Amino acid sequence: MNLSISAWLQHKIDEYKFSVRDITVDYYMAQAKINRPECSLDQLRKFNDTCLDMAELCQLNGDDHSYLHALGKLHHRLVQELANTERDRLFRMQAWQLARHSLTRLCHQLAMNGEWDKATRLQSEFVKHASWIM
């Protein structure tokens, strides 16, 4: 049976929405784990991986706004963890490393969109927040 282009497109959009919904549930589960004081490095990495998976899903489906949103949420949370003095140094160093990676991806996309000022501002903020950890 042949589907019309409209039906095929609607099916693809529905698949994307369901995939985003499923990974959003994974995101909130991973976020709940890093909200705990006893969060481990593995849980931090799992949160990072889940956010990157969400961003990649958005990017592969041409949803640049959601891609930037997912990366932005990840980066913001990692920068928060950098400043969390209740975490041990190794945890904060891992957050720093992961935040550098998310910043690189964010700035690349912002540059592709011509948003140089925003990319520069993010880089400056990161240096300000992260410089004391080194």
Whole-number Å distance between alpha carbons of 12 and 6 = 10
| Domains along the chain with CATH numbers | 5-133 (1.25.40)
Q: How far apart are CA 49 and CA 68, in angstroms?
A: 15
pLDDT average, residue stretch 85-98: 95
Please give the pLDDT value at position 134.
58
pLDDT of 28 = 97
Looking at every residue in the chain, the average pLDDT score rounds to 93
Integer Cα distance of 46 and 66 in angstroms: 20
Is the confidence at residue 6, as pLDDT, over 70?
yes
Res. 76: pLDDT tops 90? yes
Which pLDDT tens digit goes with each residue over 42-64? 999 999 999 999 999 999 999 99
